[in-house]
Structure 1
Amino acid sequence: MAGDFSMIGSVILGLLLAGYLGQQYLPPPKPRVIGLDLGTTFCSVGAFQPGTGDVEVIPDEKGRKSIPSVVSFTDTGIYSGHEGQELQDINPQNTIYDAKRFIGKVFDQKTLDQESARYPFKVTFNNGSAEFLVSTNSTFTVTPEFIGSRLLLKMRKMAEKHLGVPIEKAVISVPAEFDERQRNYTIRAANQAGLEILRVINEPTAAAMAYGLHKVDVFNVLVVDLGGGTLDVSLLNKQGGMFLTRAMAGNNKLGGQDFSQRLFQYASERVRQQYGAPPTLKEDVHRLRQAVEAAKLRLTVEPSVSLKVPLCLQTTGDEGPQEEQVTFQEELTRELFEDLNADLFQKILAPIETVLVEGRLDKAEIDEIVLVGGSTRIPRIRQIISQYFGKEPNTSVDPDLAVVTGVALQAGIMGGSWPLQVSAIEIPNRSLRKTNFS
């Protein structure tokens, strides 16, 4: 009997030693499950690296770690991400964005008309669902989940090229307020892209995981998610590794696009004042919009930036209408940007106050404030939030990549990757409703 135990002990010791040596000297296995953040304005894909325990946000061929949630249809093909965005100003009626706002949602005709009025492309009503009308070589409709599938397919191909292995499984994030139908339609979009979804995780929970809050002793977590097109505020209650969403509020018509638009309108008016005509050609509008967007990003880290944009203006001279080649130059300051958007920035506090009231908490009871979304980089926005709470929000994670980082962690857990992570468990709260401002 003693000999049997000795043999068993030797076998176990041998297996442990083999495992240790394998970890030290053999290359770790490739990730087989990816994490997907299908955002309203930008998307990202990440993978948990077995062995190191690091999350890698996978870049595209130009090293960019997110792609615009834009799909453009032309006579020659379908273009997703950055390629689709490049066509947005010259092919506006066939370039679809913000599809996430429509996926799986049930509309009546009047509500859909109101929701779609601000888009240059045509949104049609089909038995309670929204579809997008496209006219290229022929006229046809596409569903929001088809748009999502094209973006997910692009990210799947990015992951396969980067990792060097076929990818068939994923974890995906959705807004906390998504109902069962919206979640199922998001899964359907992934299925159309050839992906099996192992788990759907709420975006605020994913962000909290990215900040490591599933492993530390915090109780009340406020997640402020301000992206390109929407503001979402969630109050999470955490006990152990379990998250409960206590309250949600937001503004689905407030985001970085609105801040950029204010700056674009200012720049367009300055062009008119200097040259007597605003930019009207699609190419000029596109060029000026891109320059303004780049300036907005730089103003988050610099006090001022110089705008220099070549334009072809339609002016009126002695001989009638004519084209004039000009170079528009303007100095933009952070102070100007903040003044142009002062009223919009203040709107951020309304949903924060609402979730505190609905969660029956005082702002002093918030243990951690988590910032998510690229627009939370704006210094004035961070200042408004910190002044309201009397303490600094947590900025230790790239806000653009917080959600995809948390989803990739969950993907590693679902894939059984080593080293094992502590999983976050979401407690479903089906009766919760999101309060929306506009």
Structure 2
Amino acid sequence: MTADIGDYAKSRYGTRSGYVCKSVKSLMGTSDQVPLVDEIPDKTPSDVSAQILSFMINSAKKRLFQNELSDVIITVPASFDSDQCQATLDAARKAGINVENMHDVLLYEPKAVIYNFMRMQECGEIPSDLLSLDTEKNVLVFDLGGGTLDVTIHRVGYTEKGILNIKDLAISRYTLLGGDNFDELLATDMLRRFEESNGVKVSIKRKEEVMCKLRKLAEKLKVDLSQAYDSARMSDIDLPEDYELEVVDIDLYDSYAYADTYTRSDVERIISPLMGYKYKLEDASKIQHMAEKDVNNIIYPVLDVLDKCGKDTKIDAVILNGGMTKFYLIPKRLKDFFGFEPLTTSDPDLSVARGAVYYHYCLHKYNVRKLEDPSSSEKTNVCTSALHPVIAFNTSTILNDTINLGLRGEYVSQLIPAGTELPYKSEEIRDKYKLDKATSSLGIEMFLGRGKTKNLPNRRIATRTVKFGRSYPADTPISFQIYINPLRMMTMEAWITGQPKTKKTMEMDISYENRHFAFLNVLTSK
């Protein structure tokens, strides 16, 4: 069975239920089957992604007149955890891509955006002083696409040897927000208006088909309104709040047409819940006390990374990326929030792709090889050339939130702080934890977040039980050692202090788990 990829498949979504899927990227790393009919055999997110990658590889072969094309760069969100990265690599293997290269196959998208921006400055495509690197700068990348929002902060500059260095400072974990959410709000309002004006009720069986049409109308409404806003701005005039745009579908449902008008103020009011208008810069310090209902907006992830960096971190520049940042309200909101104009390129849809191309070009043009210094946790692709300055690509990443160990009662103890560079290996953690009662087993709870208790904003990510073979009395000291690889997979060793033969090894993915676990409170902190 052959698969159709791209615009044709997109046009059939909603009318061919069970035969078309979208936004599979958000399912990567899960064991869930993509909701497709039984006759379609390959339904894991990795399988579907492999189909997409194969389509892209074959298209590239034809355009480049190549018989083989296995050496590629794949970009992923910086917030991807170990399971998501591994699922992406699995999809690449299935698509025939060589993932065991001399260089890293995966490139985090915010870094690709910065590479592309610096390339454009160096080539004169944009003014060279937009982001001057005479001194190191703290750069926030705001990447808002169709289904995800990636917000990251990086320190960007050149070393004394002329090496371009991009160091991750903070990565937000609140990513499940994108242009689709804006479309959904507008489409839901359109459905309400349609039903009220025609005195009909769309059946449950047909609702997704109708909503699919309305989402396309919503997307067009955003584009048309942005174009009108930009045209007015270029003419040095303000677009009136009562500026109207038409929304038309000649056969939306059971031969009923839908014709409506939306004003600029209508659109802004409908999508306002996603804009985070109530937040200001100083609210970053209050993020740990906010309710979970306040997470779903474009500013909360910004507050998250600002809080992780600390109150003394000054943001020197904001770079916009992703198709949704072309919607006029996004740069306007960020300008109001930061107090300066965010930077954008002429085509933010392609910034990640162009940055990845530039990255891949340099890897081969300058014979870059991946080097791992055993004395350092930093992994860097480097090269030297007699004709060119030294070029370096720092491909290390960081821990995007604090890892905590659950204690007896409701408290947690910090193990590894957010922002720790990966890969990471701890020293022996001893003289800090002990058994709270006589027992032959050790229950371990791991939490992610910067709170002090097991409650929100912290989330439980894993539980493990270690059995020692015999009982040990209360107050027996416990030692730990932790290793986290670049894909954020954690290996934890636990043993009775001073008795290495009791050592037990556990692996866990340090991403959120939605399952509920029994509490295993057998640790206390000294």
Q: TM-score range by the shorter chain?
A: 0.5 to 0.7
What's 1:295 paired with? 221
The residue aligned with 1:134 is 36
Pick aligned residue for 2:261 from 331, 337, 361: 331
Q: Is the 8 A contact 2:79 2:150 kept in 1?
A: no
Give the TM-score normalised by structure 2: 0.57
Query: Cα offset for 1:152?
Result: 1.0
Aligned CA distance change for structure 1 residues 195 and 277 (closer, same or farther; 3 Å): same
2: CA distance, partners of 1:416 / 1:202: 21
| AA partner of residue 102 (structure 1) | L
Secondary structure of the 2:36 match is strand
Partner of 1:210: 116
Measured in 1, the distance between the counterparts of 2:262 and 2:397 equals 46
Structure 1 residue identity aligned to 2:310: R
Distance 1:376 1:295, change over 3 A: same
| Paired residues of 1:299 and 1:334 also in contact (CA < 8 A) | yes
The equivalent position to 1:144 in structure 2, one of 29, 38, 45, is: 45
Normalised TM-score (structure 1): 0.67
Quick one: which amino acid aligns to residue 170 of structure 1?
Answer: V
Contact 1:224 1:234 in 2 (8 A): yes
The alpha-carbon deviation at position 140 of structure 1 amounts to 4.2
CA shift at 1:326, angstroms? 3.5
Does residue 325 of structure 2 align to residue 376 of structure 1? yes
Of residues 274-283 and 218-227 in structure 1, the stretch that sits farther from structure 2 once superposed is 274-283
SS at match of 1:149: helix
Aligned-partner SS, 2:342: coil
Deviation (angstroms), 1:141: 5.3
Taking structure 1 as reference, are residues 370 and 424 closer, same or farther at Cα in structure 2, changes over 3 Å only? farther
**CA deviation profile, 1:157-212 (whole Å, cap 9, x unmatched):** 22222222232221111122334443233122122112224432111100111111
CA distance in 2, matches of 1:229, 1:383: 21
Aligned to 2:308: 358
Distance 1:92 1:405 in 2: 34
Matched, 1:78 2:3: yes
Partner of 1:174: 76
Query: Match of 1:93?
Result: 18
SS in 2 for 1:267: helix
Distance 1:371 1:247, change over 3 A: same
Give the conservation status (yes or no) of the 8 Å contact 2:320–2:342. Answer: yes
| Alignment partner, residue 146 of structure 2 | 228
Conservation of the 8 A alpha-carbon contact between 2:28 and 2:87? yes
Q: Which residue does the alignment assign to 1:308?
A: 248
**Contact 2:50/2:94 (<8 A) preserved:** yes
Q: CA deviation at 1:403?
A: 0.9
Query: Structure 1 stretch 426-435 or stretch 249-258: which is displaced more?
Result: 426-435
Q: What amino acid maps onto 2:357 in structure 1? A: A
Letter in structure 2 aligned against 1:81: G
Distance 2:399 2:299 in 1: 24
Q: Among 176, 190, 196, which residue is 1:253 paired with?
A: 176
For residues 301 and 252 of structure 2, the distance between their equivalents in structure 1, rounded to whole angstroms, comes to 43
Q: Report the Cα distance in structure 1 between the residues aligned to 2:87 and 2:212, rounded to whole angstroms.
A: 33
Contact map agreement 2:113 2:351 (CA 8 A) in 1 = yes
The alignment covers a number of residue pairs equal to: 328
Change (3 A) 1:143 1:404: same
The one of 201, 206, 211 equivalent to 2:107 is 201
Task: Tell me the equivalent position of 1:53.
Answer: none
Partner of 2:194: 271
Give the deviation of 1:286 after TM superposition: 3.5
Q: Which amino acid aligns with 1:333?
A: T
Sequence identity percentage: 25
Cα deviation, 1:259-310, whole Å, max 9, x if unaligned, reads: 1111111111221122111555465443333222222222221254211211
The CA RMSD over aligned residues, in Å, is: 2.9
What CA distance in whole angstroms lies between the structure 1 residues aligned with 2:318 and 2:63? 34
Gaps of 5+ in 1: 1-75, 106-128, 315-324
Match of 2:285 in 1: none
